[in-house]
Amino acid sequence: MVVNLVQERLGASSMAEQVLRTIGPVVLLGPPGAGKGTQSKRITEHYHIPQVSTGDLLREHVRQQTPLGIEVQAVIARGELVPDHLVCDIVAWRLRQPDADRGFILDGFPRTQKQAAWLDSFLKFEFFETGKWASWLPIVIRIQVDYNKLLLRITGRRTCPTCGAIYNVHSNPPLVDEICDKDGTKLVIRDDDRDEVIRERLDTYERQTKPVAEYYDKLGRLVTINGDQSVDDVSAAILKEIDGRACGVASGTEVKGN
Catalytic residues: 36, 111, 157, 190, 201
Cα 36 from chain centre: 5
Alpha-carbon separation of residue 255 from 133, 136, 178, 245, 258 (angstroms) = 10, 8, 49, 8, 10
Kindly state the helix (H) or strand (E) to which residue 205 belongs, with its residue range.
helix 195-218
Q: What are phi and psi of 187, to 5 degrees?
A: -75, 155
Q: For residue 28, give the 3-state DSSP assignment.
A: strand
A 10 A CB-CB count for 220 gives: 11
A 10 A CB-CB count for 53 gives: 18
Alpha-carbon separation of residue 187 from 96, 155, 190, 225 (angstroms) = 43, 13, 10, 32
Residue 5 to residue 82: CA distance in whole angstroms: 54
Kindly state the helix (H) or strand (E) to which residue 222 belongs, with its residue range.
strand 222-226
Cα 167 from chain centre: 22
Positive or negative, the Cα torsion across 113, 118, 120, 121?
positive
